[in-house]
């Protein structure tokens, strides 16, 4: 089977092209044609994952596919958008059927979960890298921007931090690959874009970002965009017992505030909305973690008594 046929086989499947009313013409022509639903804004993000930089060269192709799509989808989740469709630009050294089958399965399994369609793509020869552009919809004015945080707002994160940084260590050090650390490994290899938060947070979020660079670095993006500062309560930063048991309290804390790739959301809400948010999250069995407060003084306070390694990394991210 030629590479062209392989690609058609794995990427033009019905699974990757579910029927969607907005997709008028999918893969196979010069372009795709989309009818954006009336009264919706289009939300767009693009991310490239490079072998040896964003994932190990010899990673399971299923995970490479899953992760490349997840990382890009996470940006939509961070804007409060509903995912709709995506394009895939895959550069690979050679088109092996087995590799492509597993890679496309990873992409399909995640795409199917949200009913999103692959509408276009390009496959080229070269060093392995994957570029995914995702599109979703949001009602006008409803997108969660980075610039909306106000002094007094509560800062939340959507789950334990540092999991992916810990997971990467497990991936790179096979002697750590024990049953009790599989949740860390999964957090790194198969991150879950947090669309499950959408209904609870909708209409309540003032600013949001997904944690890809690391909690402090990403929080800082929000603070700068909003022209505000923050006071954190380090004791409230959620850290899993697995991470602490594997790396010890100090290193686990450093990973939680500086490690990237968690793809949890960090968001701000007005304190007036706290009760309704927490009731709503409870009803949806979601656990949310308040970790600090927005202030009018630029910078981040509250971490002074923690080790300098964290601060150093923080400094470098800015």
Q: How far is Cα 305 from Cα 249, in angstroms, rounded to an integer? A: 14
- Using the minimum distance from each CB to a copy of itself, give the nearer residue, 208 or 277: 208
- Using the minimum distance from each CB to a copy of itself, give the nearer residue, 81 or 164: 81
Q: Three-state SS for 116?
A: coil
Residue 22, marked binder: no
Cβ count near 163 (within 10 Å)? 28
Residue 203, marked binder: no
Kindly give the pairing relationship between strand 229-232 and strand 299-301: parallel
3-state secondary structure string across 39-97: CCEEEEEEEEEEECCCECCCCCHHHHHHHHHHHHHHHHHHCCCEEEEEEEEEEECCCCH
Full DSSP string of 247-293? HHHHHHHHHHHH------EEEEE-GGGHHHHHHHHHHTT---EEEEE
- Using the minimum distance from each CB to a copy of itself, give the nearer residue, 100 or 243: 100
Q: How far is Cα 288 from Cα 159, in angstroms, rounded to an integer? A: 7
What is the dihedral sign for C-alpha 58, 60, 66, 71? negative
Are 258 and 215 within 8 A, CB to CB?
A: yes
Residue 30, marked binder: yes
- Using the minimum distance from each CB to a copy of itself, give the nearer residue, 193 or 310: 193
Binding site for a copy of itself (CB under 8 A): 24-25, 28-36, 38, 41-54, 75-76, 78-79, 81, 87-89, 91, 119-122, 124-127, 129, 131, 133, 136, 138, 140, 143, 145-147, 208-210, 225
Residue 262, marked binder: no
- Using the minimum distance from each CB to a copy of itself, give the nearer residue, 12 or 89: 89
Residue 129, marked binder: no
Residue 282, marked binder: no
- Using the minimum distance from each CB to a copy of itself, give the nearer residue, 88 or 256: 88
Shortest Å distance, C-beta 181 to a copy of itself:
28
- Using the minimum distance from each CB to a copy of itself, give the nearer residue, 29 or 98: 29
User: Facing residues of 137 across strands?
Assistant: 42, 82
- Using the minimum distance from each CB to a copy of itself, give the nearer residue, 43 or 246: 43
Shortest Å distance, C-beta 313 to a copy of itself:
15
Q: How far is Cα 186 from Cα 167, in angstroms, rounded to an integer? A: 7
Shortest Å distance, C-beta 190 to a copy of itself:
20
Shortest Å distance, C-beta 279 to a copy of itself:
27
Shortest Å distance, C-beta 246 to a copy of itself:
28
Residue 54, marked binder: yes
Shortest Å distance, C-beta 215 to a copy of itself:
15
Q: How far is Cα 239 from Cα 311, in angstroms, rounded to an integer? A: 18
For helices 61-78 and 97-114, give the axis angle rounded to 10 degrees. 30
Are 198 and 205 within 8 A, CB to CB?
A: no
Residue 47, marked binder: yes
> What does the block give as tokens for 268?
């701000």
Q: How far is Cα 156 from Cα 134, in angstroms, rounded to an integer? A: 25
Residue 250, marked binder: no
Residue 121, marked binder: yes
Shortest Å distance, C-beta 20 to a copy of itself:
13
Q: Give the annotated binding-site residues.
A: 30, 45, 47, 54, 75, 121-122, 146, 210, 212-213, 261, 311
Q: Give the annotated binding-site residues for substrate.
A: 54, 261, 311
Q: Give the annotated binding-site residues for Mg(2+).
A: 30, 45, 47, 75, 122, 210, 213
């Amino acid at each position: 089977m030629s590479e062209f046929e392989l690609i058609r086989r794995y990427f033009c499947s019905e699974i990757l092209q579910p029927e969607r009313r907005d997709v008028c013409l999918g893969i196979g022509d010069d372009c795709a044609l989309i009818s954006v639903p009336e009264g919706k804004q289009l939300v767009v993000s693009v991310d490239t994952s490079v072998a040896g930089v964003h994932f190990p060269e010899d990673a399971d192709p299923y995970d490479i596919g899953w992760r490349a799509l997840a990382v890009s989808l996470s940006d939509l989740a961070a804007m409060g958008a509903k995912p709709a469709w995506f394009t895939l630009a895959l550069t690979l050294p050679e088109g092996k059927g087995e590799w492509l089958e597993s890679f496309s399965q990873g992409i399909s399994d995640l795409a199917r979960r949200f009913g999103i369609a692959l509408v276009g793509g390009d496959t080229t020869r070269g060093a392995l890298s994957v570029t995914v552009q995702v599109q979703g919809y949001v009602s006008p004015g409803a997108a969660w921007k980075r610039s909306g945080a106000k002094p007094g707002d509560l800062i939340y994160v959507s789950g334990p931090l540092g999991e992916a940084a810990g997971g990467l260590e497990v991936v790179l050090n096979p002697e750590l690959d024990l049953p009790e650390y599989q949740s860390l490994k999964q957090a790194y290899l198969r991150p879950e874009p947090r669309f499950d938060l959408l209904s609870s947070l909708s209409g309540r979020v003032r600013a949001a970002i997904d944690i890809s660079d690391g909690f402090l670095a990403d929080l800082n993006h929000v603070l700068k965009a909003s022209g505000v500062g923050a006071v954190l309560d380090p004791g409230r930063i959620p850290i899993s017992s697995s991470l602490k048991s594997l790396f010890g309290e100090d290193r686990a804390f450093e990973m939680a505030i500086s490690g990237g790739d968690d793809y949890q959301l960090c968001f701000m809400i007005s304190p007036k909305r706290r009760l309704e948010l927490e009731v709503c999250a409870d009803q949806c069995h979601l656990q949310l973690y308040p970790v600090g407060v927005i202030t009018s003084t630029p910078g981040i306070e509250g971490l002074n008594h923690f080790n300098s390694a964290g601060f150093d990394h923080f400094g470098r991210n800015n």
